[in-house]
Structure 1
Amino acid sequence: MIKFIWPIDLILLKEVDSTNKYARKYVYKKKNWIIISSINQTKGIGMGKNQWYTEKGKNLTFSIIFKPIKILPVKKRYIINIITSNAIHKTLLNYNNNNLIWIKWPNDIIYDNKKIGGILIENNIFLQNVHSIIVGIGLNINQTKFNKKWNVSSLKKIFNINFKLDKLFFEIIYSFQKEYFLFITYGENFIRNYYINHLYLKDKNSLFYVYKTKSYTKGIIRSITDQGFLIIEIKKKLYFFFQKEIKLILS
């Protein structure tokens, strides 16, 4: 059994529509590090109006509820996404370190150009600071059948082995706590640099759809700003984009 940095309070559900929705009732509880996990999530929430589809008992779908120990201003809320992405990425590297696992801005985990996981973060704000956070995580683990239109995969399809869900679940939670500990100990740049170095398609020519102009453009992902904006070089000029302002088009 993994020894966590901070004690957790685990709530295991047989079935729920969304662990993030269920977690909202615990946001104002005094306890910290409450984990909501479900064997079957029927209507997982993705970014915007997207949904996360998962097969019963074969994947990981859970939410982490915690209150920042260190004051986190609203403008720095992107850091939680950095922490979560890094934690998942580092955990998966323990299973296969072949440079095919990437972090796709802003909230996806990619293996060999296919999505294997997603992150959804909900922040509760008080006096311009983040008071409490719900971090929703969905990872395709042992599921093997997917709609071809989704361009997704799973760890089992990739490595051709069955994964122990409980073991991986606790490893990710520990990795999340460790990454948060690194943040409060060494600061924002320490964890941000890791994220930037593992950005999907960084420094490569890519195709994007810009929602404001309703047009496609070619560009190169260069980095992210200290507020989480994606920096893209277009025609030798740098442009900053926030979530839902631009979409990376995969071939």
Structure 2
Amino acid sequence: MKRFIWPIYLIFLKKVDSTNQYIKRNISKWMNNWTVIWSMHQTNGRGVGKNLWKTEKGKNLTFSIFFKSITLSIDKGYIMNMIISNAIHKTLFSYSKFIWIKWPNDIILMNKKIGGILIENKVFHKKIHTTIAGIGLNVNQLKFDYKFQATSLKKILNKDFELDKLFYNIIYSIQKEYFLFTIQGESNIRDYYVSHLYMKDKISFFYIKKNVHCEINGLYKGIIRNITKRGNLVIEFNKKKKFFFFSQKEVQLIF
């Protein structure tokens, strides 16, 4: 097992509805900073919004990390998402160079989703007091519902992965990224995240929803250019040569 920068408090569950929900149910009892809930069988995992995260028992990684007493303002809540996205990307990049971060919270391998991150922040006096980071990563599973365009490390790379080794490597990578953030600030974190964005600087199609900053809506061709200091996606639209920024609920990358 790796030596960590901070000690972790690992709780392994054979079966749970959701590792994030497990932390929420027990947060007032005994949760320490860097408590990690790991389960081989998550029966009701979910992603952002109403999206579900369905995985095959014993084949993938599903775990959550509890961060206590972090000092971020509300408008910097996206930083934890960047830290964890970068950490997972750096861990997996050693296996394949075709790994990308799809804004805001997905991990892409060979144009298909292999992982997702769900960040849930608790705010107190306009500061983020605690964060629960749920992570799902498809590792050794081979069969997927065609509707979700999902894949796994094994299916693409044609090799078996040791789940415990990969798990500890990711946890260590997250701690390393978090440590760098505490001593260097967000600049390097942001630069890495932006430079490894899926479809950055490439023509893509987006479904634009209602946006107070943008007079357009519907299906449009555009190019991902950057992320704002509030974590919003910056898209350039070719015909008008204009830049607009979007929150997660306002835009969807189609292809």
TM-score with structure 2 setting the length: 0.94
* Structure 1 match to 2:177: 179
Which amino acid is the alignment partner of residue 163 of structure 2?
A: L
* Structure 2 match to 1:41: 42
* Structure 2 match to 1:12: 12
* Structure 2 match to 1:225: 228
Instruction: Quote the offset at 1:68 in angstroms.
Output: 4.4
Which amino acid is the alignment partner of residue 251 of structure 2?
A: I
Distance 1:68 1:79 in 2: 15
Which amino acid is the alignment partner of residue 122 of structure 1?
A: E
SS state of the match for residue 36, structure 1?
strand
Structure 1, unmatched stretches of 5+, are none
Instruction: Quote the offset at 1:26 in angstroms.
Output: 3.6
User: 2:187 aligned to 189, 198, 204, which one?
Assistant: 189
User: 1:248 aligned to 211, 236, 253, which one?
Assistant: 253
SS state of the match for residue 238, structure 1?
strand
SS state of the match for residue 16, structure 1?
coil
Structure 2, unmatched stretches of 5+, are 211-215
Distance 1:53 1:241 in 2: 28
Instruction: Quote the offset at 1:25 in angstroms.
Output: 2.7
The answer (yes or no) to whether the contact 2:43–2:54 under 8 Å persists in 1 is: yes
Distance 1:184 1:207 in 2: 36
1:239 aligns with 2:244: yes
Runs of 4+ in structure 1 over 6 Å off: none
Could you tell me the percent identity over the aligned residues?
Answer: 61
The answer (yes or no) to whether the contact 1:37–1:62 under 8 Å persists in 2 is: yes
Matches within 5 A, 1:1-251: 1-28=1-28, 29=30, 31-69=32-70, 71-96=71-96, 98=97, 100-212=98-210, 215-234=218-237, 235-250=240-255
Distance 2:236 2:12 in 1: 45
- The Cα RMSD (Å) is 1.1
Question: How many matched pairs?
Answer: 247
